[in-house]
Structure 1
Amino acid sequence: MSQTITKITTHDTRFPLGPGAGSDAVHIDAVYSYAVCQLHTEGKTKGIGLAFTVGAGNELVCQAIEFLAKELVGRDLDELMAEFGEVQRKMSNHTQYRWVGPHKGVVQLALAAITNACFDLWAKERGVPLWKLLLDLNTEDTIALLDFSYIEDALTKDEARAILNSHAIDRHKRESILTENYQGYDTSIGWFNYSDQKVRDNIKKSMDAGFTSMKLKVGSPDHERDLRRAFMVRECAGDNATVMLDCNQQWQMQESIEFMMKAKGMNPYWIEEPTHPDDILGHQTLARAISPIKIACGEHVPNRIIFKNYLQSNAMHFNQVDAVRVGGISEFLVISLMSRKFNIPVVPHVGDMGQIHQHLVLFNHIAMGHEALFLEHIPHLQQHFVNPCQIVDGRYITPQDIGASSDLKCLQNQTICEVN
């Protein structure tokens, strides 16, 4: 029996990290935080939706959630999800709140939390993990979840149907990923404020844990420091390891080109966020200038329209769309479909610490035919989740608990998980 949404509550949750953890060239003092949307029903089932911030402003996202989600109260869940693409379109275009967007910033983060809560509640109501909920949908049900406004010049509904239908024919061949498990890559070896020795120690621990791919934060005013550490990681990890560099938007255009020309010798798999995330043509220029080094970006791209422009401009080689940054799971899926049309791999940024995305990459691979490359792994908040993602031999174990793996212990236990 379908549930009715009876109440919405929000929670400002903040989790300080250990010394140096989470630091990059721009965010030197991050507090990993979630603006949480909690959807209540007549029963005990609650949908939990996350939007990620780094602390300050988290309370503003919670206020926006409370405003935007009002119209969900009294809605039957199955009826809501049967037309969710239209529901999301209306929420994102609210006549007042659109002015402080549109489709970006505080309002878009609120939409992410609301959307993710709806999907979590839906999976719990069906009694299945999110990945299975999505894989059990037929093509038309999937299309109904998505908002195609402003992108049909790049991806029509018919093209999306064709992608899903064509890959349904041989999806059984890709379902082996459910038992083989999805490869991870380790972001936590090389935070910006870690010492050289800590980075070396972390590389050894990471490789002992089965990881063969890892990432180093760069973007220091001292390029020689970054270059030395990049070559150090390559030496420690060995030639067979996959090593990525992440600038977190710190560099100017020419600075980015000059650095990557010097870094070519350590064979980086990609350079992530090499300049400002709104500079689509700048990324296009960079992609040409630093070839064959590839560009990964999308962590700070807030909506499908800007992703459309990146794809149309050949300005990215890896799409790092994040379901707790764009308008939630629904917009993540339509961006993944658009990326599939343009043959660009989706390797999500994990503001959720991989909890939700471990489900989404399985759907991307099985239902859309996306290559199963790897998924970012950041371990710092595992102790705060009711069902933390499980990593064995560097691979995400396919989750079996119902829902989207986004329940937080502090909400379940009604304890304080907020830092003022």
Structure 2
Amino acid sequence: MKKSILIKTGKSQDVQFALENGAGSDAVHSTPTYAYAVCKLQTDTSLEGVGLAFTLGAGNRLVCGAIDYLVRHVEGREINELMADFGSTYKKMADDPNLRWLGPHKGVIHLALASVVNACYDLWAKSRSQPLWQLLVDLSPEELINTLDFSYYEDILTKEEAIRLMKNQEAGKSSRMGILKNGYPGYDTSIGWFNYSDEQLTTNIKKSIDQGFTAIKLKVGSINEERDFRRAELVRKAAGAKATIMLDANQQWHLPKAVATCKKLMVIDPFWIEEPTHPDDIQAHITLSKEVPIPIALGEHVPNKIMFKNFIQSGCMSFNQVDAVRVGGVSEFILISLLSRKYSIPVVPHVGDMGQIHQHLVLFNHISLGHPAILLEYIPHLKDYFKFPAQVEGGKYKTPQEPGLSSDFKDFVKEKTVLSH
């Protein structure tokens, strides 16, 4: 049921979480602070829209400053009226003439846009007393498409084509609803952080397998490549021949290094190599995909729909890791997901949100767009701070039932809070 809800004001919140004992570390980001630039939309009711953008700490206040500017585009709007043609408002925010020069459509400003956009979708779902996945699944193709901005996609995916794509998937929609009961398989990233010792890796792998995970990820990209080879073989031995193992270099390698190292890492039969080189270097990814037969996963640091458009067209992307707290929120995520579906590239999101929002989006992707239900990343480090943390049992995500995006923090997480995990 729709409720008339007026957005009165919007404000940012700077929330940071200090991690301990090597958690969250990779070859490039050695001492991460997990941080959220939060957008909160206050209304004329008790409901509040909460959106997230993910950073690694020091830049969080810059994103918060941009949030406090962008919210003027949605203040004073009734949420259902706003979302009925949200694509137009999205474009106005993304192309705000006072901020666009700082991007366009990337960096601090685009992260702030993600937070505001996600807050709007959160409030919209709460206004209908629905979890986000259900709201999106229940929308008609036309209603959903009206929330998207197709600027610069006109040559490759028009609104009309997107609507047809969705309507073509309706025949199998009811059968795919079974995922709501059966769950969505996760893969465990937390076993293999870069700064973990070999002993920690072995212990974590056993614990993960005992919890029901069959897919795990190892951080690579060591200055001494022999460390990567040793640890990769250790993980394969500990996890077993049937386990799915991903490798993640976090952009550490230049192209020749990526080619040489990936060839040697083929011995453990990796499911993918993630972010093998600079995230803007499309040609390097194309070359690597031709020279080494390891599927490439990328998207964690791809900032917007145009870069995704080019990567998707290039043919080098095997797995699309678009992240709704990195690109321009749920709206841009869905647009990129639609294009990825057109090209039959599966979407396996990176979860800067710790899987809170993406657990909804993968359900929508599978049910409404027909994306295969492959995997969703699982990182449990911040679950104690969310009001409704993502629930994973037996290695599978359980379907969230609470209204919204699952992005609300518990009450003790306050402004500019730095919490030690």
Question: Structure 2: 5+ residue runs without aligned partners?
Answer: none
Cα distance in structure 2, aligned partners of 1:120 and 1:192: 34
Cα shift readout 1:202-249 (whole Å, capped 9, x = no counterpart):
000000000000000000110000011001100100110000000000
Q: Report what 1:54 is aligned to.
A: 56
Q: CA deviation at 1:415?
A: 3.7
Corresponding residue of 1:418: 417
Give matches, 1:186-225, under 5 Å: 186-225=188-227
1:419 CA displacement: 3.0
**Corresponding residue for residue 308 of structure 1:** 309
Q: Could you tell me which residue of structure 2 aligns to residue 376 of structure 1? A: 377
Q: What is the RMSD of the two structures over their aligned residues, measured on CA atoms?
A: 1.0
The aligned amino acid for 1:269 is F
Shift of 1:159: 1.6
C-alpha distance in 2 between matches for 1:81 and 1:284: 38
Q: Indicate conservation of the 8 Å contact 1:346/1:370, yes or no.
A: yes
Letter in 2 for 1:257: V
Shift of 1:185: 0.2
Cα deviation for residue 133 of structure 1 reads 0.6
Task: Say which SS state the counterpart of residue 418 (structure 2) adopts.
Answer: coil
Instruction: State the distance in 1 between where 2:296 and 2:327 align.
Output: 20
CA–CA distance in 1 between the matches of 2:40 and 2:120? 9
Q: Tell me if the contact between 2:14 and 2:415 (Cα under 8 Å) persists in the aligned partners.
A: no
- Kept in 2, the 8 Å contact 1:129–1:400? The answer is yes
TM-superposed deviation, 1:417: 5.3
Is the contact between residue 15 and residue 417 of structure 1 (CA under 8 Å) also seen in structure 2? no
1:276 pairs with 278, 283, 295, which one?
Answer: 278
Q: How many residues align?
A: 417
- Give matches, 1:15-414, under 5 Å: 15-291=17-293, 293-409=294-410, 412-413=411-412
Shifted more, 154-163 versus 244-253: the winner is 154-163
Q: Distance in 2 between the 1:152 and 1:195 partners?
A: 49
Aligned partners of 1:392 and 1:24: how far apart in 2?
Answer: 26
Letter of the 2:264 counterpart: K
| CA shift digits 1:321-376 (9 cap, x unpaired) | 00000000000000000000010000000000000000000000000000000100
Mapped partners of 1:131, 1:373: distance in 2: 17
Contact 2:13 2:415 in 1 (8 A): no
Aligned to 2:12: 10
265 and 52 in structure 1: CA distance in 2 versus 1, 3 angstrom threshold:
same
Q: Is the 8 A contact 1:33 1:58 kept in 2?
A: yes
Q: Is the 8 A contact 2:340 2:346 kept in 1?
A: yes
Q: Can you list the C-alpha shifts for 1:86-105, whole angstroms capped at 9, x where unaligned?
A: 11011000112000000000
Percent identity of paired positions between Structure 1 and Structure 2? 57
Quote the Cα distance in structure 2 between the aligned partners of 1:374 and 1:417.
Answer: 33
Find the aligned partners of 1:226 and 1:273 in 2 and give their Cα distance.
15
Output the CA distance in 1 between the equivalents of 2:405 and 2:93.
22
Shift in Å, 1:49? 0.2
User: What CA distance in whole angstroms lies between the structure 2 residues aligned with 1:71 and 1:416?
Assistant: 23
Residues 75-116 of structure 1: per-residue CA shift (max 9 Å, x gap): 111110001011101100011200000000000000000000
Q: CA separation in 2, counterparts of 1:71 and 1:269? A: 43
1:413 shift after superposition: 4.3
Give SS of 1:10's match: strand
Letter paired with 1:80: L
**What are the superposed Cα offsets for residues 12-42 of structure 1, whole Å, 9 maximum, x if unpaired?**
0000112100000000010000000000001
Return the offset for 1:414.
Answer: 6.5
**What amino acid is aligned across from residue 313 of structure 2 in structure 1?**
Q
Write the deviation string for residues 152-198 of structure 1: whole angstroms up to 9, x where unpaired. Answer: 21211122111100001220010000000000000000000000000
CA contact (8 A) 1:38 1:117 kept: yes
Change (3 A) 1:416 1:305: closer
Q: Is the 8 A contact 1:209 1:394 kept in 2?
A: yes
